[in-house]
Amino acid sequence: MATALWKKYLAALADFLHKGLAGFVPFLNELPHPRMRLHRLLACFATLWLALPAPGAAASASDDLLGGDDLLGGPATPAPPRPVSAPLPPAKKQPVNPVDPHVQAFAKGNFPSASECAVCHKQIYDEWRSSNHAYASISPVFHKFEQKINDLAQGTIGYFCMRCHAAVSTTLGETRDLELWKRADVSREGITCITCHRVQEQYTKANGERRIEPGDLTKPVLGPFSGDGVAMVVGQKDDFHVKLSDAETGPGQVIHNSAVQFSTIKTSEFCVSCHQVAVHPGIKLEVVWDQYRASPAAAKGTTCQECHMGKNPGLAEGYTTAAAAVVGGTPINPGREHHNHAFYGPGYPIVHPGIFPHNPQAKKFSIQTWLKFDYRAGWGTPAFEKTVAANPSATRFPEEWDSPEDRADARDIVEENLRMLEQKRTLREAVMANGSHLDGPFFKSDPVAGQPLKIAYTLRNTNAGHNFPSGSLGAQPELWLNVALFDAAGHNVWESGYVDSRGDMADLHSRDVREGKLPADAQLFNLQTKFLTTNVKGTDREMYLPINLDIDQLPFIRPAGVPTSVLNHPPFVRMEGRSLPPLSQREAAYTIPAAALKSPGRYRLSVRLRSRAEPMYFMDFVGATPEMDQSMNEWMINLHESTVEFTVAPVAAKKP
């Protein structure tokens, strides 16, 4: 145990002896979890026992761990700032770390982890660690999709997708198919701090091919503001308990020595290299930049950052304020414009909550171990552990999770991460609700029993910056209306936008529709963009992955034979865009059949706009696991829900 930490423990014990329990409780309350506080309490008393001289031994000056202060009399030496969160005790049984230590050391020396930045930038770190940027290289859907493309095309794509999703990993030369748990820690952070703040050139349509400047934590970072705050801390480094290099001895946090203003990082152009992507056949998968540059927002000068990092998700209404950093407990540049690093958007994670959001405490367990932790079964909760204790032989655990203490620690981490994910869900709902508006229903005919009823809704894209939905159209984000009619008895008598047994809409991609188990939804209102391909025979058809293959034993993705500027799309493949352009609207018209309005009386008409990141048929195609499917559907959200009641009149008597 480091001498500085011993001193802190002894100082806390001194407070306990002088002031009683009131002097010791604040020291314990620095840690978030009760179990961690117990570990700290035991460590304090163990430190006191180790600090006492052996029986009969003469005390020496070096035995005084407080540097000359009397434990019972003099004041304790001020302790240096503590880390962001104290580590949990080692797990009882863990597999050997599979990461190559040489790769880990090289990565740490050249590409600092976000967890190192968190020491001073905790607010930003907490915003980022549950963001889509932080999730980019962990996403199991991404890895399944990327692997499927490479399998189909015999590796033609290579590292193409990894350049955006795992830029540090690509720079380190980690193979694209390397298991997640064998990658360096910083590689698993996706779009991490240095992915943006160590880029010093302006890129545009580079398909993610940007250079990250290597260097340890002390090297300069680039940002939207001047480096006056860093310069002030560096000039008073002893007061702030910081070090300017690893070579400096004594307590203190190593920090970057300077910050450089890089005005490009505040512009929309900075986002282009990963948010406008064209693949080998010449088709565009990421199109948000093309949409933005022709938008009213671009004409007005509104940037991507104003909506996606501002104070209100999706709305250009300014920024909140906060300190640039907190160093040694002192806020630096308090009240400065704060850019929220949650990066509001519609995406969401479906990975195990022990692995994501990023959580320094979670590193106690390996990724392989986390994947064996059944959080859905309640492992580690008091109720579950009480049941196990009453009948130990009834539940069998993997060897790594035999320890109830480890399960309890893991549960604490999972619960914290689940709370963060709920916050993310709230932000996701807000950014989509703020960017759209649903009006209706509008009755186009009178509701009369035994007669068809024509109704309509109007969906409006209130976002001035890009289409609704937007983003990666290759991943085919889903957005559709679900409208249902209920009679006076509460029976569902008509519906559009219903889903099949897998959760797919009832269109031609639905397995249940193809097998004749469910009628196709002829009135489906769906804003999902689809690929259209021309195949060996027949006309265009919808496809969920347009891989143009040679008809031979070695298929590969073929580049376009003619310039796409001639055809305005690659040969034999195009995208059928159904999304709403900025500030536009579209009517969803429905005809409710007469059979649904058999009797007069009061009826209820309900509507909701449904959103999901991936269709389930696509999840099947890439080989998703049942757990992935379940999580994908659990994250589906409903927007603009409303219900109206109306009266269906009886059929008018015929005139004689």
User: From the CA atom positions of the chain, what is the Rg in Å?
Assistant: 30
Query: What amino acid is encoded at 592 in this protein?
Result: I
Q: Provide the pLDDT for residue 11.
A: 56
The 3-class SS string of 590-623 reads EEECHHHCCCCEEEEEEEEEEEECCCHHHHHHHC
Name the token pair of 16: 């306990």
Rounded to whole angstroms, the Cα distance separating 418 from 431 reads 20
Rounded to whole angstroms, the Cα distance separating 520 from 517 reads 10
Answer yes or no: is pLDDT of 445 > 80. yes
Percent residues over pLDDT 90 in the chain: 65
Of 475, 480, 479, 353, the C-alpha closest to 417 is 353
Of 483, 487, 485, 494, the C-alpha closest to 457 is 483
Torsion of CA 216, 221, 227, 229, to 10 degrees: -60
Per-residue pLDDT reduced to its tens digit, 233-248: 999 999 999 999 988 9
Rounded to whole angstroms, the Cα distance separating 129 from 64 reads 42
Query: What amino acid is encoded at 554 in this protein?
Result: L
Of 40, 28, 27, 48, the C-alpha closest to 88 is 40
Sign, CA dihedral 325-326-332-338, equals positive
Name the token pair of 288: 């948000």
Least confident window among 117-126, 157-166, 294-303, 431-440: 157-166
Per-residue pLDDT reduced to its tens digit, 477-490: 899 999 999 999 99
Which DSSP letter does residue 460 get? E
Burial (Cβ within 10 Å: 0-12, 13-18, ≥19) of residue 428: buried
Contact between residue 295 and residue 465 where contact means Cβ atoms under 8 Å apart: yes
Name the token pair of 13: 């014990």
Q: Which of helix, strand or coil describes residue 481? A: strand
Contact between residue 35 and residue 89 where contact means Cβ atoms under 8 Å apart: no
Q: Which of helix, strand or coil describes residue 488? A: coil
Bridge-based pairing of strands 436-443 and 336-338 is unpaired
Q: Provide the pLDDT for residue 202.
A: 87
Higher-pLDDT residue of 441 and 50 is 441
Least confident window among 44-58, 289-303, 538-552: 44-58
Q: Which of helix, strand or coil describes residue 174? A: coil
Contact between residue 583 and residue 296 where contact means Cβ atoms under 8 Å apart: yes
Answer yes or no: is pLDDT of 4 > 50. no
Rounded to whole angstroms, the Cα distance separating 607 from 644 reads 9
Name the token pair of 8: 């802190």
Rounded to whole angstroms, the Cα distance separating 150 from 165 reads 16
Contact between residue 123 and residue 524 where contact means Cβ atoms under 8 Å apart: no
Say which residues have a Cβ less than 8 Å from residue 102's Cβ, sequence separation at least 6.
Answer: none
Average model confidence (pLDDT) for the chain?
85
Name the token pair of 515: 């097998």
Answer yes or no: is pLDDT of 333 > 70. yes
Q: Provide the pLDDT for residue 560.
A: 63
- pTM beyond cutoff 0.85: no
User: Taking residues 26-34, what's their average pLDDT?
Assistant: 53
Sign, CA dihedral 247-250-252-258, equals negative
Least confident window among 28-32, 212-216, 321-325, 405-409: 28-32
Q: Which of helix, strand or coil describes residue 500? A: coil
Name the token pair of 289: 């930049």
Q: How far is CA 431 from the centre of its chain?
A: 14
Rounded to whole angstroms, the Cα distance separating 385 from 373 reads 14
Name residue, tokens 């603009």.
640
Contact between residue 190 and residue 135 where contact means Cβ atoms under 8 Å apart: yes
Of 100, 235, 281, the C-alpha closest to 181 is 100
Name the token pair of 378: 């309640």
Q: Which helix (H) or strand (E) holds 286?
A: strand 284-286
Say which residues have a Cβ less than 8 Å from residue 317's Cβ, sequence separation at least 6.
Answer: 310, 311
Rounded to whole angstroms, the Cα distance separating 190 from 343 reads 14
Confidence of residue 372 (pLDDT cuts 50, 70, 90): very high
C-alpha triplet 291, 296, 299: angle, nearest 5°: 100
Most confident by average pLDDT, 43-52, 77-86, 303-312: 303-312
Contact between residue 44 and residue 50 where contact means Cβ atoms under 8 Å apart: no
Per-residue pLDDT reduced to its tens digit, 635-653: 999 999 999 999 999 987 5
Confidence of residue 108 (pLDDT cuts 50, 70, 90): confident
Name the token pair of 516: 């004749």
DSSP 302-346: --HHHHHSSSBTTB-S--EEE-SEEETTEEESTTEEE--TT---S
Q: Which residues share a beta bridge with 468? A: 580
Q: Where are the beta strands (DSSP E) in 436-584?
A: 436-443, 453-461, 478-486, 492-496, 530-533, 541-543, 573-576
Confidence of residue 425 (pLDDT cuts 50, 70, 90): very high
